[in-house]
């Protein structure tokens, strides 16, 4: 990693740039510009998110945005309405107001004396979503100022590929992210920038939404989810886009989807990374994301003919077989390039599911994965509610054991179909397609499929996974419960993957009816009967050595700060020997750090507990506690968000309490207690 301290352009910074919205609300921005931009206007690059430029994303902002400014761009980091130092109130993620504000910000930037009139937009996660949405929403006649986007860890379908539902299954992260946003948006503006910070803070707290129940209530792909999903009309994706994803993150499907379907020039890159920008993300190798983005901006915002539009459509890092590690610093592999996607070098290879004969353990039926025609079989699948404790997070952020660990223990409890020992390496790039002939003894049930690399020592690495709420077997928009005992044909895709299994290893398909806490359990423990099926694998040929050498990672100088108290993290699995309840417990305390530029001291802490009994889906309980801390001199504020989710056979229950302190005095407290009917989950 190279830290750049000098650039072609001298930089000036605007600490608090006010951007007026049509309704009079003032959004707060931090901007870095070339010093002579008013004499020689430059394109603007916008990042627009709710995560607080003053303290939340400041460490990464200072490594990225001065870099762009030093290369001749006006880099503008905006706090969304109702967050950070901006005015107004936030109602939901990706609301119409948020989208309208984004277009208003782009228009305003394009008309500033230091801007050439061309605007680019970038972002990761929320910011990756809304830059695609802004491109989708701007005028289709080419008159819009937004000329290019760089999107990292985002989605084209808010129902199929976001933190709420996956394959129609309700994700645990739906509740978790509701607790996160209750905490994140509870913090006030910085008093140095806002004299009215206290009145604004109290208004913000009064209007704070508890979003988890709202999201969980939309159990089909209805208009709520279609709003903000840029895959609703691929033809509207006319703005050149560079799309980045990571195999360790659950937004990896976006890259292939946009490259394949968007009519605009689109270039995709998927690396080994978690949910972070690729120049700092683990596992390594990190790459020169900022140089790649700069090349994209130069082509589409400055019109420099640098050949960016002729780059391969899809670049992917092929992971190599290695022992399973939940916190890998680096993953072995190599980069491949596909000129077009889908690629003619990727061909489907169909393996059929069959019964393996004598099971390896009396209580665990086993299957076989091969090319031979199946003679028919009947295998049951009913897994303990605790299966999935090694699944990892939906979007891992770092090295706190957030990635999937050894899957062998879960495999032993699953219905597994094992392939033969490989005589030579097997390289996969794309999405596997699974088809099953299956019956359920309960009307509400789901199936999770994990594709695993099984080493000779029995250790198991999750290559990719997918899931299907069986109510969604025919339609995501119009789900229908299963008829108990009735056999149906179902099919679904697993997540995109880039992986090379080593000779001597075996491919395993593991099926389960539970996946806690990744997926919220069905109201009754279901037994599935599988009587047939096939797995189509995307086998890539002729790309067994590096085809791309990305630029080395570099960034601008890190933020100036002092560590007052070191943080700590802990992630454990508990088993109560009396009750039999098992729990995943996550604790993360960031410590306390002082910004040496403006003196703000920040810190946060989190405790998550996900508990369940192996035999009782209605024992599932999730409890999250978030604390946010801000101080400077004699000024100190603190907020605490407590949230709990449980369920009955008919309803999901989500409770929350938000408390705010100024000094030692409680200035606000509010409780929520919401129930959501279980229609399809």
Phi, psi torsion values for 217, nearest 5 degrees? -70, -20
Phi, psi torsion values for 414, nearest 5 degrees? -100, 170
Q: Which residues contact 99 (CB under 8 A, 6 or more apart)?
A: 130, 133, 134, 137, 228
Q: CA-CA distance, 608 to 289, in Å (whole number)?
A: 33
Q: Cα–Cα distances in Å, from 284 out to 274, 288, 342, 462?
A: 10, 12, 26, 18
pLDDT score of 365: 58
- The neighbour count for residue 40, using CB atoms within 10 Å, is 12
- Cis preceding linkage at 285, omega within 30: yes
Superfamily of domain 2-168+219-338: Alpha/Beta hydrolase fold, catalytic domain (3.40.50.1820)
Tell me which residues of the chain have a pLDDT lower than 50.
359-363
Element (H, E) at 68: helix 58-69
- The neighbour count for residue 340, using CB atoms within 10 Å, is 12
Supply 623's token pair.
Answer: 């409890």
Closest CA to 160 of 476, 611, 445: 476
pLDDT score of 577: 97
User: pLDDT (tens digit, 9 = 90+) per residue, 94-140?
Assistant: 999 999 999 999 999 999 999 999 999 999 999 999 999 999 999 98
Cα dihedral 504, 507, 510, 515 sign: positive
Q: CA-CA distance, 396 to 164, in Å (whole number)?
A: 16
The torsion of the CA quartet 242, 245, 251, 252, rounded to 10 degrees, works out to 110
What letter does residue 175 receive in the DSSP assignment?
H
Strands 2-4 and 554-556: parallel
Q: CA-CA distance, 513 to 521, in Å (whole number)?
A: 9
Closest CA to 85 of 202, 193, 186, 183: 193
Q: CA-CA distance, 602 to 266, in Å (whole number)?
A: 39
User: Domain ranges in the chain?
Assistant: 2-168+219-338, 169-218+560-596+599-681, 346-540
Q: Does the domain spanning 346-540 belong to CATH 2.30.30.30? A: no
Q: Largest Cα–Cα distance of the chain, in whole Å?
A: 79
Supply 261's token pair.
Answer: 């379907």
Phi, psi torsion values for 369, nearest 5 degrees? -120, 110
Helix (H, G, I), strand (E, B) or coil at 594: strand
- The neighbour count for residue 1, using CB atoms within 10 Å, is 12
Angle between helix axes 126-137 and 96-110 (nearest 10 degrees) is 70
Place of tokens 């999901």: 652
3-state secondary structure 569-588: EEEEEEECCCCCCEEEEEEE
pLDDT score of 373: 74
Q: CA-CA distance, 128 to 447, in Å (whole number)?
A: 30
User: What's the start-to-end Cα distance of the chain, in Å?
Assistant: 46
DSSP letter string, 505-547: -EEEEEEES--TTTBPPPSS---EEEEEEEEEEEEE-S--S--
User: pLDDT (tens digit, 9 = 90+) per residue, 389-419?
Assistant: 989 999 999 999 999 999 999 999 999 999 9
Supply 250's token pair.
Answer: 């659950």
Strand partners, 17: 29
Q: Cα–Cα distances in Å, from 307 out to 76, 299, 464?
A: 26, 8, 34
Helix (H, G, I), strand (E, B) or coil at 322: coil
Supply 538's token pair.
Answer: 């995307």
Closest CA to 594 of 564, 628, 571: 564
Q: CA-CA distance, 671 to 606, in Å (whole number)?
A: 19
- The neighbour count for residue 96, using CB atoms within 10 Å, is 12
The pTM for the full model equals 0.96
If you count them, how many residues does the chain have?
Answer: 681
């Amino acid at each position: 990693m190279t830290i750049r301290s000098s650039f072609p352009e001298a930089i000036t910074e605007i600490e608090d740039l006010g951007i007026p919205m049509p309704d009079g609300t003032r959004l707060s921005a931090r901007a870095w510009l070339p010093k002579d931009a008013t004499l020689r206007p430059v394109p603007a690059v916008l990042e627009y998110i709710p995560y607080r430029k003053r303290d939340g994303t400041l460490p990464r902002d200072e490594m990225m945005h001065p870099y762009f400014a030093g290369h001749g761009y006006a880099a503008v980091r905006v706090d969304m309405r109702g967050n950070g130092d901006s005015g107004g109130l936030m109602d939901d993620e990706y609301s119409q107001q948020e989208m309208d504000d984004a277009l208003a910000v782009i228009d305003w930037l394009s008309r500033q004396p230091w801007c050439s009139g061309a605007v680019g937009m970038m972002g990761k996660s929320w910011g990756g979503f809304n830059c695609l949405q802004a491109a989708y929403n701007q005028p289709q006649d080419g008159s819009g100022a937004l000329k290019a986007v760089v999107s990292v860890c985002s989605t084209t379908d808010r129902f199929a590929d976001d933190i709420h539902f996956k394959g129609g299954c309700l994700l645990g992260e739906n509740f978790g992210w509701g607790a996160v946003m209750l905490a994140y948006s509870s913090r006030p503006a910085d008093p140095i920038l806002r004299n009215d910070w206290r009145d604004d803070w109290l208004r913000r707290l009064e209007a704070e939404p508890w979003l988890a129940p709202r999201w969980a209530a939309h159990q089909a792909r209805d208009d709520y989810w279609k709003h903000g999903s840029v895959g609703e009309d691929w033809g509207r994706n006319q703005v050149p886009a560079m799309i980045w994803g990571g195999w360790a993150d659950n937004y990896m499907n976006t890259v292939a989807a946009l490259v394949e379907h968007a009519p605009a020039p689109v270039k995709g890159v998927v690396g080994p990374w978690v949910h972070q920008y690729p120049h700092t993300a683990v596992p390594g190798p990190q790459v020169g994301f900022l140089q790649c983005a700069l090349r994209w901006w130069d082509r589409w915002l400055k019109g420099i003919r640098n050949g960016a539009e002729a780059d391969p459509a899809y670049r992917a890092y092929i992971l190599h077989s290695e022992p399973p590690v939940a916190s890998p610093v680096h993953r072995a592999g190599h980069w491949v390039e596909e000129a077009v996607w889908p690629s003619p070098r990727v061909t489907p290879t169909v393996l059929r599911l069959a019964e393996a004969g004598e099971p390896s353990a009396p209580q665990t039926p086993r299957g076989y994965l091969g090319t031979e025609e199946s003679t028919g079989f009947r295998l049951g699948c009913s897994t303990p509610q605790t299966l999935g404790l090694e699944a990892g997070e939906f979007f891992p952020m770092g090295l706190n054991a957030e990635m999937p660990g050894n899957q062998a223990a879960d495999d032993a409890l699953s219905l597994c179909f094992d392939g033969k020992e490989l005589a030579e390496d097997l390289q996969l790039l794309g999405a596997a397609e699974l088809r099953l002939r299956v019956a359920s003894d309960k009307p509400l049930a789901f199936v999770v499929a994990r594709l695993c690399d099984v080493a000779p020592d029995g250790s198991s690495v999750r290559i990719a996974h997918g899931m299907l709420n069986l109510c969604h077997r025919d339609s995501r928009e119009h789900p229908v419960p299963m008829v108990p005992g009735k056999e149906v044909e179902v099919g679904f895709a697993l997540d995109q993957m880039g992986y090379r299994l080593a000779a001597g290893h075996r491919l395993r398909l593991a099926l389960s009816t539970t996946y806690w806490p990744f997926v919220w359990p069905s109201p009754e423990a279901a037994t599935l009967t599988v009587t047939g099926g096939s797995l189509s694998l995307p086998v890539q040929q002729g790309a067994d050595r590096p085809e791309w050498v990305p630029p080395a990672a570099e960034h601008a100088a890190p933020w100036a700060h002092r560590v007052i108290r070191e943080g700590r993290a802990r992630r454990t699995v508990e088993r109560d020997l009396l009750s039999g309840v098992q729990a995943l417990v996550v604790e993360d305390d960031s410590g306390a750090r002082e910004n040496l530029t403006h003196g703000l001291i920040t810190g946060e802490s989190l405790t998550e507990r996900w508990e369940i009994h192996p035999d009782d889906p209605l024992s599932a309980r999730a409890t999250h506690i978030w604390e946010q801390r801000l101080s400077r001199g004699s000024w100190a504020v603190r907020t605490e968000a407590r949230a709990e989710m449980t369920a009955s056979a008919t309803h999901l229950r989500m409770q929350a309490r938000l408390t705010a302190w100024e000094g030692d005095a409680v200035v606000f407290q509010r409780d929520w207690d919401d129930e959501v009917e279980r229609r399809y989950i």
